[in-house]
Amino acid sequence: MSKLWAILFLVPIPARAQYWESLGRGSLAYGPAAIGALYRDTVLDRLLIGGSFVYMENTADTVLCIGQAQWDGTRWDSLAHRNQSWNGEFGVNQTYWFMRFRGDLYASGAFGFHDQGSGGFQRGFARLVPDEQRWEALECLNPTVLGMETLGWRDPQDTLYATGHAGNLCGYPESCVFAYDGQNFYPWPPVAELPEHPNNYVGIIFKFRGCTYMSGTFLDPVGGTDWVSFIRYCGNGWEHVPGGEFVWGLKDYVIQGDTLLYLGGPFRTSSGGPGDLVVAYDGTTWYQLGNGLEYAPSPSLGQVWDLLLWHGDLYACGSFTQASGVPAICIAKWNGQQWCGLPGELSFGTHLMRQMAVWRDSLYVSGAFTMADGQPANNIAQWIGGDAVSACSEPVGVREEPVTETGMQVWPDGAGNWNIELPTTGAGPWQMTLTNALGQVVRTALLANGRGQMSAVELATGPYVLTAVNGTGLRYATKVVRP
């Protein structure tokens, strides 16, 4: 019997592949909003999180946080003084997100606190006093319990906007939007053109290529009595965004080099949207990214919650299970030609990933999951899988082409060109093709012997795919990024 046990002991047990890693044990609360916000703060050099949690668990202890916490790479701690909820009960408190604006750290959400400066109770908006590690009210108290509780967006441009349902702020007449310049709130004139209605709601406002875009659910200011969710203001009044018919408001946007706008949300082509859950726009034309994303169990419930550009790829997360027909559970990346899923196992109670952030060149995600590759990771995990992918969709515009080899080397020469060297010299001529993130050909060149240059002058910033093909069908391809 002892010999048998010895033999069994020596049989190797397959190790679980590790692509995700836990951060402590995560949140003690569980649910889709337990951890909603992730933010890389380069000033504090911390990963900040927000949500409706009360406690965060380290490996050896538990920390009282009340909707806000910070991760230093080793352990969780609370952030500044602890906020309160609308009614004083911990479970109602929720921080939506953080942002830096003109050097200061701001937070917004369904929280409140007693403001030391005014002695009043501030709701929804907060600015950090760094030397004292406490939150303070902005230039006036926000008295609205329901209404104005969103400040942002998460990546602010030259102006912050307080948005939400109609509310009063700083003594101004009721509105769905107030602008903030870092010192004062003031009315934002374009929103006054919206027809008044108690159910008007404004969520996201941003600028792209000379126009200001606004998303939410509000009566159409262009004419009629219909409800709309996406319009733009180009200096002479509101207008519909051509082709941008969205049934519901957007969840997120990201701008690439002021030339391409990516949008994510619950929209679908079957309900008139320009794409399925994610789409690109250059100010004139809409582009679908492959066949988009889908929540196969119930397509009408699918949506993208967050978008992020990292290492030249577009990452999307939310409620979906497929990306252009391949499995992708709640997160996928678009490399300019195809969608790819990320391997590893996140154990979801509900198919929902809320937000992503890159901190110290590593990707972090939050969502309704409890385990990450076998480790307890309530609502938050770190990606440690490098460039690993699971299934990838068929590249856009590529059909029955020869197998692509790797090994092409590309580097800048400092004068606006890319130097190119193929591992197989000679065997030319080589036809070089450069395609952008939408699969469009933007440059071509001819290499006589496998070495040469391609101009990158006047190319928009972002990722591209460079392909080399010779007369025998041998094919090389690599991704390059124009900074």
- In this prediction, residue 92 has a pLDDT band, given cuts at 50, 70 and 90, of low
Do residue 367 and residue 437 come from a single domain? no
Q: Exposed, middle or buried, 473 (CB in 10 Å: 0-12/13-18/19+)?
A: exposed
- In this prediction, residue 157 has a pLDDT band, given cuts at 50, 70 and 90, of confident
pLDDT value of residue 310: 92
- Better-predicted residue by pLDDT, 109 or 414: 109
Q: What is the pTM of this model?
A: 0.84
- Percent of the chain whose predicted confidence (pLDDT) is above 70: 91
Do residue 63 and residue 145 come from a single domain? yes
Do residue 343 and residue 242 come from a single domain? yes
Q: Which domain holds residue 259?
A: 16-383
Residue ending a domain, choose from 321, 350, 383? 383
Do residue 305 and residue 431 come from a single domain? no
CATH number (domain holding residue 465): 2.60.40.3080
Do residue 372 and residue 411 come from a single domain? no
pLDDT in tens, 363-387: 999 999 999 999 999 999 999 999 9
CA distance 245 to 247: 7
CA distance 406 to 123: 55
Do residue 185 and residue 39 come from a single domain? yes
CATH number (domain holding residue 44): 2.130.10.10
Q: How far is CA 198 from CA 194, 223, 342, 381, in A?
A: 12, 18, 43, 40
Do residue 416 and residue 292 come from a single domain? no
Q: How far is CA 249 from CA 80, 152, 217, 218, 228, in A?
A: 33, 16, 6, 10, 9
pLDDT value of residue 12: 45
pLDDT value of residue 116: 87
CA distance 181 to 198: 27
pLDDT in tens, 294-329: 999 999 999 999 999 998 899 999 999 999 999 999
Do residue 336 and residue 454 come from a single domain? no
**Mean pLDDT value of segment 33-59:** 93
**Mean pLDDT value of segment 128-155:** 83
pLDDT value of residue 405: 60
**Mean pLDDT value of segment 75-100:** 74
Residue 4: enclosing H or E segment and its boundaries?
helix 2-10
Q: Exposed, middle or buried, 361 (CB in 10 Å: 0-12/13-18/19+)?
A: exposed
**Mean pLDDT value of segment 128-137:** 92
pLDDT value of residue 13: 41
